[in-house]
Amino acid sequence: MLHDEGLRSEHANTIACLTIGLSVASWLTSMKVEPAGIDRADRWGIFIATWPATWFGLGQALARHERAEELHDDMSA
């Protein structure tokens, strides 16, 4: 379904890499802006740091789907 909507493996892998940077940025920003201190910053960084694995997993699944589609197209041609 995601592939049919236009999401490709490259998109998912790019989002995964961006969320790694977002995790670091949110940790640094939270440390400087939040009055709660490093505990809150750590929670924000860890929360966002869980996202890349999901996006990399989606990227792998989409890549597998794309390879299967290519093989199917090659065999039917």
The model carries a pTM of 0.76
How far apart, in whole angstroms, are the C-alpha atoms of residue 30 and residue 16? 21
Per-residue pLDDT of the chain (77 residues; tens, 9 = 90+): 878 888 899 999 999 999 999 998 988 888 888 777 788 888 888 888 899 999 999 999 999 999 998 888 877 76
- Other Cβ atoms less than 10 A from the Cβ of 75: the count is 7
pLDDT of residue 76: 78
pLDDT of residue 33: 80
pLDDT of residue 77: 64
- What's the token pair of residue 44? 């924000």
If DSSP codes are grouped into helix, strand and coil, which group holds residue 34? coil
